[in-house]
Amino acid sequence: MEIALVGLGMVAGTHAKAIQSIGDDVRLAGVLSRHKDRAEKFVEEHCSETADPITIYENISEIAADPRIEIVALCTPPNARTEIVKELAEAGKHILIEKPLERTLTAATEIVEICENNNVMLGVFFQHRLRQSALAAREALAQGKLGEIAAVEINVPWWREQAYYDEPGRGTYARDGGGVLISQSIHTIDVAISLVGQVSRVQAMARTTSLHEMESEDFVSAGLEFANGAVGSLLASTASYPGSAESITIHGTKGSASLVSGKFTLSYQDGTSEVVGEEVASGGGADPMAFTHAWHQAVVEDFVDAVRNDRAPAITGRDALKVQSLIEAITKSSREGRILDVPATE
């Protein structure tokens, strides 16, 4: 199965390594960048051990017309996706897209509907869901090990240097759709709601601290009310020097569970505990690329299997709309200074 990679920015090297590490007749067949010299340099740096030549495409139409390509991994900025998705979907290409789907819930929904209307699969790189610790947490909750869920804490105390936001477009609404919410903490929020369920109401404060010069927010605090009756809190920041591990803590009637980076700990009220995995780097410090490619590889492997076996991928476009709806509600709550309901996406 041959895959094309579109968009060769910061995270593209991780995607290339993830695809090329799979084997099993899965191959990175071609790449596309707005700048041909960047594509040539990318192939030289990231695809030098590939036996077969890598095609450097001139435009999306060439990928759409290439019968070899079954899957396109789309890593362009969020503002450069809808028309690309439309052309690829109409050509029958399955699409695996970087988070977020788009800058707004309306635009993200359009992408989902384009793929559905053209009967192609849409998967999303919410790779933290497929980490061993997150899978262990999902299993524990499914087995009722915590009892009734009462409260949830979501914390993303990360750090980004000003140089990160000095890149043109970074942290702007026009290109990225926002700041820490939609670009960094979206992963942890997505894992939390995939475990506990959707948030129904929110009251939030989103601000830009004096530590950064940027258009959008680098600090968010929010109170959450889940549809199942649990309450929660969210702290999301890229202004928390030097940056530490993101965490989700879930409190239930039988005990509590903490998901800290790659480590999952169950603490029961009888004093016993269970531990799965260990803490690993996840990009929370000054280096946003300080994480393994294995998480992305798991998403690609699942998506390839979904295409081959005509099943839904583990993380669908509809799944991605849930976290996008919540993020939009948090932003709106802060702007309007009031409690808001979170719109349902199904």
The pLDDT of residue 204 is: 99
Q: Which two tokens stand for residue 280?
A: 């690993």
User: What integer pLDDT is reported at residue 292 of this predicted model?
Assistant: 83
For residues 136 and 83, membership in a common domain is answered with no
- 120 and 149 share one domain: no
The model's pLDDT over 296-307, given as tens digits with 9 standing for 90+, comes to 999 999 999 999
- Whether residue 83 is predicted with pLDDT greater than 80 in this model: the reply is yes
Buried b (16+ CB within 10 A) or exposed e, 245-276: bbbbbbbbeebbbbbbbbbbbbbbeeeeeeeb
Residue range(s) defining the domain that contains residue 15? 2-127+296-315
Averaged pLDDT, 230-254: 97
Provide the edge-to-edge strand list for the sheet that holds 69-74. 55-56, 27-32, 2-6, 69-74, 94-98, 122-125
Position 284 pLDDT exceeds 60: no
Co-location of 207 and 337 in the same domain: yes
Residues 87 and 235 in one domain: no
**What DSSP state is assigned to residue 181?**
I
Are 220 and 336 within one domain?
A: yes
Domain identity same for 326 and 301: no
Res. 7: pLDDT tops 70: yes
In a domain, 205, yes or no: yes
Cis peptide before 242 (omega within 30 of 0): yes
Residue 262: per-residue pLDDT:
81
| Domain total in the chain | 2
Residue 186 and residue 334 in one domain: yes
Q: Is 255 helix (H, G, I), strand (E, B) or coil?
A: strand
Question: Could you give the CA distance from residue 255 to residue 276 in angstroms, rounded to a whole number?
Answer: 16
Domain-located, residue 346: no
pLDDT digits (tens, 9 = 90+) for 199-220: 999 999 999 999 999 999 999 9
CA atoms within 13 A on the CB side of 173: 6
pTM for this model (two decimals): 0.94
Say if residue 246 is in the same domain as residue 204.
yes
Mean pLDDT of 158-165: 97
Residues 81, 50: one domain?
Answer: yes
Tens-place pLDDT, residues 287-335: 665 568 999 999 999 999 999 999 999 999 999 999 999 999 999 999 9
H helices of the chain, in order, are 12-20, 36-46, 60-65, 82-90, 105-117, 132-142, 162-166, 180, 186-196, 294-309, 317-336
Please report the pLDDT score of residue 144 as a whole number: 96
Residue 11 covered by a domain:
yes
User: Which residues are paired to 6 by β-bridges?
Assistant: 32, 74
The two tokens of residue 244 are 């530490």
Residues 268 and 311 in one domain: no
Would residue 291 count as lying in a domain?
A: no
pLDDT in tens, 186-199: 999 999 999 999 99
Residues 265 and 330 in one domain: yes
Mean pLDDT of the chain: 95
Same domain? 113 vs 142: no
Is 69 inside a domain boundary?
yes
Q: Could you tell me the CATH number of the domain that includes residue 265?
A: 3.30.360.10
